[in-house]
Structure 1
Amino acid sequence: MSDVDTYLRAASATDDELWSRFQPLFDAVAVGNVERERTRTHPHEEVRLLKESGFGVVRIPKEDGGFGASLEQTFALLAGLAAADSNVAHIFRNHLAFVEDRLNAPRSAGNDTWLKRFLSGAFVGGGWTEANNLTLANIASTITARDDHWVVTGAKYYATGSLYADWLDVIGRDDDGALRTALVRADDPGVELIDDWRGFGQRTTASGSARYDRVRADVDDVFPAADRFVYQAHFYQNAMLAVLTGITHAALRDGTAQLRSRVRNYPQGLTDVPSDDAQLLQVVGQVSADAFAADAALSRSSRTLDDIAVARASGRDDSVEKLVVAAEVAVTQAQLVIVAAALKATTEVFDALGASGVSEDHGLDRHWRNARTLASHNPRVYKARILGDWFVNGTTPVSNLAALGRGGQGN
C-alpha cells in the first residue's frame, strides 16, 4: 500500500453532464474546419473557446474544481472533438497528459499551484523529441541547476500545441546525467517557436520546432523524469488513438452526407439514385462498422488506464505493475484495430461517392491525410509481433522506459 496522497480520486462525472456541456462546443469547433484545412489557418479561437469552457480540466476531480471525468470519458470526449477537427483534438494531447501527471503527483504547495494554473486556463504544449535526429539515449538538451532555479537549453521537434500554449514541457539531462522535465513559460526570453511542420496532415497543430536558449525554470516546475506518471506512454498513445477514432467518425459523417447529395449514378449502378444503390450503401455500412470497432477498442484500452489510476488513487501501488502490462497489451491491440479502421474507412468511403467526392470544396482528403499522419507517429509494423511474443512466450511487452513512466510521447 502507498501512503502518498495524490490528486487522483474516483471519477464522479456522468456522460450526460459531460456531453451536454462539451458537444455544443465541439459543434462550434467543426464550423470552418474545411476552410481552416484548406488555408492552413491555425485554430486559435477554437482552442481558446475550449480552454475557457474547461475542457483542459475535465480530468481534475470535482472537489478540486474540475469535472471529475474518468479516463474512458476523457478519451471519448477527445474522439468527439477529433470528429469536429482532428487538429484541435491533437493540440490538447500534451496538455491533458501533463494534467494527468500532476494528478498523479503528491499533494504539495507547488502542485497545488499547478492545479490553480490549470483551473485558471493555463495551457501546456511542447514536445520531448530531440531535434537533429537525436533520441532520449543521446539527448543533447540540458536542464542545469542554478542557485535558486534551473536553466533549460536545447532544441525539440514535434512540439505539438506549442503555438497555443502558455507553458512548454521540455525534457533534458541535468548535471548528473539524469533525465528531468522542466516547464517553462512560452513567452520567456530564450524561447523560440517555429511553425515548420511539413507533414501533409495535421497541418495546424504547431508540431514543428522549439528552441530553448538558457531559459529559466523555477524550482517547483522541474521534476525528475522517473517520477512522471507510470502510464504516461500509454496515455499519449491512447490520446492519438482517440483522435484517429474521431477521424473515422468524421469520414462516416461526411461520406454519408455526400452519398445523400449525389444526384446521378454510374451506368453500372444498381439504381438511378445513388442513395438507393445497395452496393454504395454497403460501403457506408462497412465504414460504420469501422467506426464501431474504433469506438470499442478505444473504450477497452481507456478502461485499462482507468484501472491503473483507480489503483493509484486507492493506494494499491503493489498491483500497478501488473495493470501496466495489461494496459500495454490493450493499448497495443487498440492501436492495431483503430489504425486499420481509420485508414480503411478514410480510403474506402470514396468508393461510394464518385468523382465529385474528391472536390477540394468538400475536403474529404483531409481525413485520410490526417489519419495517415497520426498513424505514422508510433509505427504499428512491430506491434503484432510484440503481442504474439507476449501471448506465446510470455515476453513482457513493456519496455523498461515505459514501465518507469519514461516512455515518451508515443512518437
Structure 2
Amino acid sequence: MPTTPSTLDRTTAAERRRALVRTTRDVADDLAADALARDQAGRPPTDEVARLREAGLLAALTPPTPERGTDWRTGCAVIRGVASADSSVGEVLARHYVHAWSGRFHASRQHADALEEESVRAQWLWTGAFRGIAPDDDTDGQDLTLRPRDNGHVLNGCRFVDTAVAVADQIVVDARCAATGDVLTVLIPPGARGVTVEPAHDRLGQRVAGAGEVILDRVTIPPGQVLGRRPDDVESTAPFTALAEPALRLALCHVGLGIVEGALSEARDLSRGGRAYRLPGADPDLFLTYGELATAAQTATAVVDRATETMAQALDTGGRLDDEEAAGVSALVATAETVTSKAALHITARVLELAGAPGLDRFWRNARVLTAHHPAAHRLRSIGEHYLNGSHRAVAATFH
C-alpha cells in the first residue's frame, strides 16, 4: 500500500510519542534518585529545569501540530510520570504545558503559531497565574493594572505564582486595563525592567516547585505580548477559551495521581524490603490495607482518565466547541479533582502509618499543598448545580 502524507504524519506522531515515553521514564528515574535531598534543600528548580530542557521535555510539551508538540493525552501521561518521581517538578511541567496553550486559548491563530514555534525553538519554560473569571460576589478586584501608552501598556501590581517564578521564560497573567476596564491576557517579557521576584521560602510541601511572588513596577508590555481580551463573565467567554482553567486543574490532577503512585510505590518497596513498621509476614491485615489504598488509587485514576479523554476531545474540537460541551468538560474535571484530592490526602497519610521511613512524609506534605486552595464543598455544590440544572456558569466559576 502506498504511503500517504497522512500516514507519514501518523507514523511520525507515534514515533514521537514512544520516544517521549522513554524519555519521561529516564527523567523520572533521574529525579527519583535525589528527590529527598532536593526536597530537604528546597531551592528554586534551576537544576531541575535544566534537566527537563536537556531531555527535550520543555520543547516537547507544547500544543500539538503535525510537526511538533504533544497531544493532551500524552502530555498528561508525561506529567504524571514525572510527578511520581518528584511532584514539584511534575507541577512545574504541568503548568508549563497548560500555559504553553495560552496562545490558542486567548490569541489569534497566527499569534499562537508564532509563539509556539518560538517556544519550541528556544525551549521556553512557561508559567503563569490567573485570577480567573470570578463570581458576582467576588469584590477583591484585579491585583494587576495595565495603563495604555504609545508603544503598548505599562503593567503594575503583584501576583503570586505557584511554579518557576524565578526561572521561567514566559509568565502569563491577566490584568485589567485602567482606561477601558477590559481584562487582558498578557505575557511578561523575561528579564524586563521593573520585574522583581520574591521566592516563597520554607513551604510545607512542593518545596522545589519554585513558587513566589512577582512584583511589577511600571513594566512595559509591548503589543506583541498582549494575547487578547478576556470577558468578565462566563456567558460571554468563548467555550474553547473557557477550557483554559479546567485544563490546568486537570493537569494538576495528574500531579496528584503522581504523588499517589510515588507514595504507594515507595511504601511497598519498604514493606517488601523489611524496612517498614508493619511487615507482610507478621501482619496479614496489611494486605487489606494495601488493597484499600490500591483501590482508592485505581478509582481516582479511572475518573481522571475519563476526564482526560473528554478534555482531549474538546481541545480537538477547538472553535466548534459549544457551551454545553464546555460545561460538561468542566463538571467532569471538577469531579476528577474532588476524587483525586481525597485519594491523595488519604493515601499519603495512611502510608506513613505503614512505613515510617525518613522522607515518606513529603508525599503527604506535597499533596496537602497541591490541594489546599480548592475546597471540595465549593466544587461539589457546583457539580450538583450542573447535574440538576445544567448550569455551566457555576461549574466554570469553580476554577477561578
**TM-score bin, normalised by smaller chain:** 0.7 to 0.9
Q: Give unmatched runs, 5+ long, in structure 2.
A: 1-8, 133-137, 232-237
Which position in structure 1 is the counterpart of 2:369? 373
User: How many Å separate the matches in 2 of 1:236 and 1:164?
Assistant: 20
Aligned pairs (5 A) from 1:207-222: 207-222=211-226
Q: Compute the RMSD of aligned alpha carbons.
A: 2.8
Q: Give unmatched runs, 5+ long, in structure 1.
A: 1-8, 267-272
Describe the superposition over 1:43-93 as per-residue Cα deviations: whole angstroms up to 9, x where unpaired.
322212212333233343343433xx3312211221111101110111233
Cα 1:326/1:178, change in 2 over 3 Å: same
2:158, 2:213 within 8 Å by CA — same for their partners in 1? yes
TM-score, normalization by structure 2 = 0.85
Which position in structure 1 is the counterpart of 2:145? 142
Shift of 1:193: 0.6
Cα 1:264/1:48, change in 2 over 3 Å: closer
1:284, 1:352 within 8 Å by CA — same for their partners in 2? no
Shift of 1:136: 7.8
Which position in structure 1 is the counterpart of 2:389? 394
2:285 matched to 1:279?
yes
2:66 matched to 1:60?
no
2:338 matched to 1:336?
yes
Which position in structure 1 is the counterpart of 2:86? 85
Letter in 2 for 1:246: G
2:80, 2:255 within 8 Å by CA — same for their partners in 1? yes
What secondary structure sits across from 2:156 in the alignment? Answer: strand
Cα 1:218/1:289, change in 2 over 3 Å: same
Cα 1:225/1:92, change in 2 over 3 Å: farther
Which position in structure 2 is the counterpart of 1:260? 272
Letter in 1 for 2:389: G
Cα 1:129/1:207, change in 2 over 3 Å: farther
Which position in structure 1 is the counterpart of 2:6? none
1:308, 1:320 within 8 Å by CA — same for their partners in 2? no
User: How many Å separate the matches in 2 of 1:164 and 1:156?
Assistant: 16
User: How many Å separate the matches in 2 of 1:363 and 1:244?
Assistant: 18
User: How many Å separate the matches in 1 of 2:275 and 2:173?
Assistant: 53
Task: Give the aligned length.
Answer: 374
Shift of 1:242: 0.9
User: How many Å separate the matches in 1 of 2:104 and 2:85?
Assistant: 28
Counterpart pick for 1:191 among 195, 212, 215: 195
Choose 44-53 or 336-345, whichever is displaced more. 44-53
What secondary structure sits across from 2:100 in the alignment? Answer: helix
TM-score, normalization by structure 1 = 0.83
Which position in structure 1 is the counterpart of 2:247? 235
Which position in structure 1 is the counterpart of 2:295? 289
Which position in structure 2 is the counterpart of 1:269? none
Aligned pairs (5 A) from 1:2-401: 12-13=13-14, 16-56=18-58, 57-66=60-69, 69-104=70-105, 105-108=107-110, 110-119=111-120, 120-129=122-131, 138-174=141-177, 175-197=179-201, 199-223=203-227, 224-226=229-231, 229-262=241-274, 274-275=280-281, 277-312=283-318, 317=320, 319-353=321-355, 357=356, 359=357, 362-391=358-387, 393-399=388-394
Identity of aligned residues (%): 24
What secondary structure sits across from 1:209 in the alignment? Answer: strand
Letter in 1 for 2:218: R
Letter in 1 for 2:337: Q
